Amino acid sequence: MLDVALHSEEVPVPLADISIRQGISLSYLEQLFLRLRQAGLVVSTRGPAGGYQLGVDGRKIAIRSVLLAVDGSLDVTKCSGKGDCQNGLLCLTHVFWLNLNSRINGFLDSITIGELMTNNEVLKISERQNVDLIANRNFSGSSI
């Protein structure tokens, strides 16, 4: 999502470019982006100049919503918060896990894609990855 946010302001980003920049298999990205598209977080464009763009302003996309779209759940409790974790009763650490869930969700809700897009370290890494992508394209296109 961050790769799309950083590279799709003018044109859609092909999954193949994301695959190369992020070192993630294309087939896995296709699965992830299907879920992201279903959640409305990205939109796709077909054709030779096709790819993905954000479906919502990056400043409005909390990291938690991205993770929920691709994973479906962020629950760390054994019982999914139901309280039947130990033979139908609360386990000794149930309150701890509930509190951890709350803190994780609060943290992930407090960070947006837009915020990460302006982070200097993220921008440096993105620039390095762009150089690597160009080098990869030039190497792949050479006739050796």
- Can you tell me the distance from the alpha carbon of 102 to that of 77, in angstroms, rounded to the nearest whole number? 11
Q: How far apart are CA 55 and CA 65, in angstroms?
A: 13
Asked if residue 103 and residue 89 are part of one domain, the reply reads yes
Rounded to a whole number of angstroms, the distance between the first and last alpha carbons of the chain is 35
CATH of residue 41's domain is 1.10.10.10
Q: Give the pLDDT of the chain (144 residues) as one tens digit per residue.
A: 999 999 988 899 999 999 999 999 999 999 999 999 999 999 999 998 899 999 999 999 999 999 999 998 889 998 988 989 899 999 999 999 999 999 999 999 999 999 999 999 999 999 999 988 888 777 766 544
Question: Which of 23, 26, 28, 29 has its CA nearest to residue 42?
Answer: 29
Structural domain of 14: 1-57+128-144
Is 51 exposed, middle or buried (CB count within 10 Å of its CB: 0-12, 13-18, 19+)?
buried
- Say what the pTM is: 0.83
- Quick one: 35 and 68 in the same domain? no
Domains in the chain, number: 2
What value does the CA radius of gyration of the chain take, rounded to a whole number of Å?
Answer: 19
Backbone angles phi, psi at 49, to 5 degrees: -100, 25
Task: For residue 123, give Cα distances in angstroms to 34, 80, 81, 100, 135.
Answer: 26, 37, 38, 31, 19
Whether 71 and 25 map to the same domain: the answer is no
